[in-house]
Amino acid sequence: METSPVRVLVVDDYEPFRRFVCSTLEQRPDLQIIGEAADGLEAVHKAEELQPDLIVLDIGLPTLNGIGAARRIRELSPESKILFVSQESSADLVQESLRIGALGYVVKTHAGIELSAAVEAVRQGKRFISIGLSGHNFASTTDAQAPVLCHEEAVSSFAPGQGEIARKHEVQFYSDESAFLVGFTRFIEAALKAENAVIVVATEPHRVSLLQRLHAGGGEVAAGVEQKHYIPLNVADTLSTLMVDGLIDPVRFANVAGDLLAEAAKEEHHHVALC
Protein backbone atom coordinates (compact mmCIF):
# COMPACT_ATOMS: atom_id res chain seq x y z
CA MET A 1 0.00 0.00 0.00
CA GLU A 2 1.21 3.49 -0.80
CA THR A 3 1.71 5.84 2.12
CA SER A 4 0.67 9.48 1.99
CA PRO A 5 3.51 12.01 1.83
CA VAL A 6 4.38 14.02 4.93
CA ARG A 7 2.67 17.41 4.62
CA VAL A 8 5.09 20.25 5.42
CA LEU A 9 4.60 23.94 6.27
CA VAL A 10 7.77 26.07 5.85
CA VAL A 11 8.06 29.29 7.85
CA ASP A 12 10.88 31.80 7.37
CA ASP A 13 10.80 35.55 6.73
CA TYR A 14 13.92 35.46 4.51
CA GLU A 15 12.59 34.42 1.12
CA PRO A 16 15.87 33.03 -0.35
CA PHE A 17 16.37 30.72 2.62
CA ARG A 18 12.70 29.70 2.55
CA ARG A 19 13.17 28.77 -1.09
CA PHE A 20 16.28 26.76 -0.18
CA VAL A 21 14.31 24.79 2.42
CA CYS A 22 11.43 24.17 0.03
CA SER A 23 13.64 23.14 -2.88
CA THR A 24 15.62 20.78 -0.63
CA LEU A 25 12.52 19.08 0.75
CA GLU A 26 10.74 18.97 -2.62
CA GLN A 27 13.45 16.61 -3.89
CA ARG A 28 12.01 13.93 -1.63
CA PRO A 29 8.90 12.18 -2.93
CA ASP A 30 7.82 11.35 0.64
CA LEU A 31 7.44 15.06 1.49
CA GLN A 32 4.86 17.55 0.23
CA ILE A 33 5.13 21.33 0.76
CA ILE A 34 1.57 22.42 1.45
CA GLY A 35 2.24 26.00 2.52
CA GLU A 36 4.70 28.76 3.28
CA ALA A 37 4.62 31.66 5.73
CA ALA A 38 6.83 34.69 6.30
CA ASP A 39 5.81 35.74 9.81
CA GLY A 40 4.69 34.21 13.08
CA LEU A 41 1.00 35.08 12.97
CA GLU A 42 0.67 33.85 9.41
CA ALA A 43 2.32 30.60 10.51
CA VAL A 44 -0.21 30.15 13.32
CA HIS A 45 -3.15 30.76 10.97
CA LYS A 46 -1.84 28.39 8.29
CA ALA A 47 -1.03 25.70 10.86
CA GLU A 48 -4.61 25.87 12.18
CA GLU A 49 -6.04 25.80 8.66
CA LEU A 50 -3.79 23.15 7.08
CA GLN A 51 -2.97 20.93 10.08
CA PRO A 52 0.45 19.97 8.62
CA ASP A 53 2.34 16.88 9.71
CA LEU A 54 5.59 18.85 10.02
CA ILE A 55 6.42 22.54 10.45
CA VAL A 56 9.91 23.83 9.65
CA LEU A 57 9.99 27.01 11.73
CA ASP A 58 12.38 29.95 12.07
CA ILE A 59 12.67 31.83 15.37
CA GLY A 60 13.46 35.39 14.27
CA LEU A 61 10.07 36.15 12.71
CA PRO A 62 8.15 39.46 12.49
CA THR A 63 4.80 40.04 14.27
CA LEU A 64 5.30 36.95 16.46
CA ASN A 65 8.59 35.13 16.99
CA GLY A 66 8.98 31.41 16.41
CA ILE A 67 8.78 30.49 20.10
CA GLY A 68 5.47 32.34 20.51
CA ALA A 69 4.17 30.88 17.27
CA ALA A 70 5.12 27.35 18.35
CA ARG A 71 3.22 27.74 21.63
CA ARG A 72 0.04 28.70 19.79
CA ILE A 73 0.53 26.05 17.12
CA ARG A 74 0.84 23.35 19.79
CA GLU A 75 -2.67 24.26 20.93
CA LEU A 76 -4.25 24.71 17.49
CA SER A 77 -2.50 21.88 15.63
CA PRO A 78 -1.29 19.48 18.36
CA GLU A 79 -0.36 16.67 15.95
CA SER A 80 2.07 18.85 13.98
CA LYS A 81 5.73 18.07 14.65
CA ILE A 82 7.97 21.15 14.87
CA LEU A 83 11.54 21.46 13.63
CA PHE A 84 13.26 24.78 14.34
CA VAL A 85 15.80 25.98 11.78
CA SER A 86 17.33 29.20 13.06
CA GLN A 87 20.53 31.24 13.07
CA GLU A 88 20.19 31.48 16.87
CA SER A 89 22.47 29.12 18.79
CA SER A 90 21.82 30.16 22.39
CA ALA A 91 21.60 27.08 24.63
CA ASP A 92 18.80 28.70 26.66
CA LEU A 93 16.78 29.39 23.52
CA VAL A 94 17.24 25.84 22.26
CA GLN A 95 16.24 24.47 25.65
CA GLU A 96 13.06 26.57 25.61
CA SER A 97 12.29 25.44 22.06
CA LEU A 98 12.49 21.80 23.08
CA ARG A 99 10.61 22.39 26.32
CA ILE A 100 7.55 23.69 24.47
CA GLY A 101 7.49 20.56 22.33
CA ALA A 102 9.76 20.99 19.29
CA LEU A 103 11.48 17.76 18.29
CA GLY A 104 14.44 19.23 16.47
CA TYR A 105 16.72 22.24 16.23
CA VAL A 106 19.08 22.98 13.34
CA VAL A 107 21.44 25.96 13.25
CA LYS A 108 21.12 27.58 9.83
CA THR A 109 24.84 27.55 9.15
CA HIS A 110 24.63 23.74 9.19
CA ALA A 111 21.34 23.40 7.33
CA GLY A 112 23.07 22.39 4.11
CA ILE A 113 24.29 19.12 5.65
CA GLU A 114 21.67 18.59 8.36
CA LEU A 115 18.23 19.60 7.07
CA SER A 116 17.29 16.34 5.36
CA ALA A 117 18.53 14.20 8.25
CA ALA A 118 16.76 16.42 10.78
CA VAL A 119 13.46 16.18 8.90
CA GLU A 120 13.78 12.40 8.72
CA ALA A 121 14.49 12.15 12.44
CA VAL A 122 11.61 14.41 13.45
CA ARG A 123 9.10 12.68 11.21
CA GLN A 124 10.02 9.44 13.00
CA GLY A 125 9.41 11.06 16.36
CA LYS A 126 13.11 11.27 17.21
CA ARG A 127 14.88 14.35 18.46
CA PHE A 128 17.59 16.00 16.34
CA ILE A 129 20.11 18.48 17.76
CA SER A 130 22.40 20.39 15.38
CA ILE A 131 26.14 19.88 15.44
CA GLY A 132 26.30 23.65 15.92
CA LEU A 133 25.05 23.01 19.46
CA SER A 134 27.55 20.32 20.39
CA GLY A 135 28.75 20.49 23.97
CA HIS A 136 25.28 21.02 25.42
CA ASN A 137 22.99 18.36 26.87
CA PHE A 138 19.36 18.87 25.90
CA ALA A 139 18.25 15.28 26.52
CA SER A 140 15.89 16.09 29.41
CA THR A 141 14.65 19.55 28.50
CA THR A 142 11.18 18.58 27.32
CA ASP A 143 8.23 16.59 28.53
CA ALA A 144 8.25 14.67 25.24
CA GLN A 145 9.94 11.29 25.63
CA ALA A 146 11.61 11.29 22.24
CA PRO A 147 14.87 9.49 21.56
CA VAL A 148 17.75 11.82 20.70
CA LEU A 149 19.36 11.73 17.25
CA CYS A 150 22.40 13.99 17.06
CA HIS A 151 24.18 15.10 13.91
CA GLU A 152 26.94 12.54 14.32
CA GLU A 153 24.43 9.68 14.16
CA ALA A 154 22.73 10.98 11.04
CA VAL A 155 25.57 12.30 8.92
CA SER A 156 26.41 8.89 7.47
CA SER A 157 23.25 9.15 5.38
CA PHE A 158 25.01 11.78 3.26
CA ALA A 159 27.68 9.38 2.04
CA PRO A 160 26.27 7.36 -0.88
CA GLY A 161 26.28 3.63 -0.35
CA GLN A 162 25.15 0.57 -2.23
CA GLY A 163 21.81 0.89 -3.95
CA GLU A 164 21.52 4.67 -3.60
CA ILE A 165 21.23 7.26 -6.38
CA ALA A 166 24.29 7.79 -8.53
CA ARG A 167 24.53 11.56 -8.11
CA LYS A 168 24.02 13.58 -4.96
CA HIS A 169 25.11 17.07 -3.94
CA GLU A 170 25.18 18.37 -0.37
CA VAL A 171 26.32 21.82 0.74
CA GLN A 172 27.85 22.66 4.11
CA PHE A 173 27.69 26.17 5.51
CA TYR A 174 30.21 26.60 8.30
CA SER A 175 30.72 29.41 10.80
CA ASP A 176 34.24 28.62 12.01
CA GLU A 177 37.29 26.41 11.47
CA SER A 178 36.13 23.75 13.91
CA ALA A 179 32.73 23.30 12.26
CA PHE A 180 34.39 23.08 8.85
CA LEU A 181 36.78 20.33 9.93
CA VAL A 182 34.09 18.37 11.79
CA GLY A 183 31.74 18.49 8.79
CA PHE A 184 34.39 17.37 6.31
CA THR A 185 35.69 14.67 8.65
CA ARG A 186 32.23 13.17 9.18
CA PHE A 187 31.52 13.20 5.44
CA ILE A 188 34.85 11.52 4.63
CA GLU A 189 34.51 8.93 7.40
CA ALA A 190 31.02 7.97 6.31
CA ALA A 191 32.10 7.58 2.68
CA LEU A 192 35.12 5.43 3.59
CA LYS A 193 33.01 3.21 5.85
CA ALA A 194 30.67 2.69 2.89
CA GLU A 195 33.75 1.53 0.92
CA ASN A 196 33.61 4.50 -1.42
CA ALA A 197 36.57 6.47 -2.73
CA VAL A 198 36.89 10.06 -1.51
CA ILE A 199 38.55 12.97 -3.30
CA VAL A 200 39.27 15.93 -1.04
CA VAL A 201 40.36 19.31 -2.42
CA ALA A 202 41.53 21.55 0.42
CA THR A 203 44.26 23.90 1.60
CA GLU A 204 47.43 22.35 2.96
CA PRO A 205 46.63 23.16 6.64
CA HIS A 206 43.17 21.64 6.24
CA ARG A 207 44.59 18.53 4.55
CA VAL A 208 47.00 18.03 7.46
CA SER A 209 44.24 18.47 10.06
CA LEU A 210 41.85 16.17 8.21
CA LEU A 211 44.45 13.43 7.85
CA GLN A 212 45.23 13.59 11.58
CA ARG A 213 41.54 13.30 12.42
CA LEU A 214 41.03 10.38 10.03
CA HIS A 215 44.00 8.43 11.43
CA ALA A 216 42.71 9.07 14.94
CA GLY A 217 39.42 7.44 13.96
CA GLY A 218 41.15 4.09 13.42
CA GLY A 219 39.38 0.98 12.10
CA GLU A 220 37.77 1.11 8.66
CA VAL A 221 38.57 4.80 8.25
CA ALA A 222 42.30 4.44 8.82
CA ALA A 223 42.32 1.34 6.61
CA GLY A 224 40.61 3.28 3.82
CA VAL A 225 43.25 5.98 4.03
CA GLU A 226 46.09 3.45 3.96
CA GLN A 227 44.53 1.67 0.98
CA LYS A 228 44.50 4.99 -0.90
CA HIS A 229 40.74 5.19 -1.14
CA TYR A 230 41.30 8.67 0.29
CA ILE A 231 42.72 11.07 -2.33
CA PRO A 232 43.73 14.49 -0.91
CA LEU A 233 44.55 17.30 -3.36
CA ASN A 234 45.93 20.78 -2.80
CA VAL A 235 43.32 23.37 -3.74
CA ALA A 236 45.82 25.85 -5.21
CA ASP A 237 47.49 23.22 -7.40
CA THR A 238 44.16 21.80 -8.51
CA LEU A 239 42.71 25.19 -9.43
CA SER A 240 45.82 26.09 -11.41
CA THR A 241 45.15 23.16 -13.74
CA LEU A 242 41.63 24.42 -14.44
CA MET A 243 42.22 28.14 -15.01
CA VAL A 244 42.76 30.16 -18.17
CA ASP A 245 43.11 33.94 -17.86
CA GLY A 246 41.73 33.92 -14.34
CA LEU A 247 38.62 31.88 -15.19
CA ILE A 248 37.80 28.18 -15.00
CA ASP A 249 38.03 26.68 -18.48
CA PRO A 250 35.15 24.22 -19.16
CA VAL A 251 37.28 21.91 -21.32
CA ARG A 252 40.11 21.74 -18.77
CA PHE A 253 37.61 21.24 -15.99
CA ALA A 254 35.94 18.33 -17.80
CA ASN A 255 39.29 16.71 -18.55
CA VAL A 256 40.73 17.11 -15.05
CA ALA A 257 37.52 16.06 -13.33
CA GLY A 258 37.15 13.08 -15.65
CA ASP A 259 40.70 11.91 -14.97
CA LEU A 260 40.25 12.32 -11.20
CA LEU A 261 37.01 10.35 -11.15
CA ALA A 262 38.45 7.62 -13.36
CA GLU A 263 41.47 7.31 -11.05
CA ALA A 264 39.30 7.21 -7.93
CA ALA A 265 36.92 4.62 -9.41
CA LYS A 266 39.58 2.32 -10.87
CA GLU A 267 39.05 -0.25 -8.13
CA GLU A 268 35.33 -0.37 -8.91
CA HIS A 269 34.12 1.43 -5.81
CA HIS A 270 30.37 1.79 -5.75
CA HIS A 271 30.65 5.58 -5.67
CA VAL A 272 33.12 8.43 -5.57
CA ALA A 273 32.54 11.16 -2.99
CA LEU A 274 34.20 14.56 -3.41
CA CYS A 275 34.55 17.53 -1.11
For 163-213, write each residue's pLDDT tens digit. Answer: 444 566 777 777 777 778 888 888 888 888 888 889 999 999 998 888 888
136 and 207 part of one domain: no
Determine which helix (DSSP H) or strand (DSSP E) holds 121, and give its type and residue range: helix 111-123
Judgement on whether residues 207 and 106 belong to the same structural domain of the protein: no
According to the model, what pLDDT value does residue 137 have? 60
45 lies in the same domain as 125: yes
Let me know whether 107 and 201 are in one domain: no
Residue 211 and residue 138 share a domain: no
Q: What is the pLDDT of residue 12?
A: 96
Question: pLDDT under 50 in the chain at which residues?
Answer: 1, 140-165
Are 10 and 95 part of one and the same domain?
Answer: yes
Residue 14 in domain: yes
Domain that holds residue 136: 6-157
- pLDDT at residue number 135: 55
Q: What is the mean pLDDT of the chain?
A: 82
DSSP string, 207-263: HHHHHHHHHHH-HHHHHHHHTT-EEEEEHHHHHHTTEETTEE-HHHHHHHHHHHHHH
Residue 228: which residues within 8 A CB-CB, separation 6 or more?
Answer: none
Kindly report the CATH number assigned to the domain that includes residue 15. 3.40.50.2300
For residues 105 and 188, state if they share a domain.
no
Q: Are residues 41 and 132 in the same domain?
A: yes
Assess whether 127 and 194 both reside in one domain. Answer: no
Residue 122 within a domain? yes
Residue 167 is assigned to a structural domain of this protein: no
35 is a domain residue: yes
Residue 86 has a pLDDT of 92
Question: Looking at the 3D structure of the chain, how many domains does it have?
Answer: 2
The pLDDT of residue 77: 96
- Whether the model clears a pTM of 0.75, i.e. scores above it, the answer is no
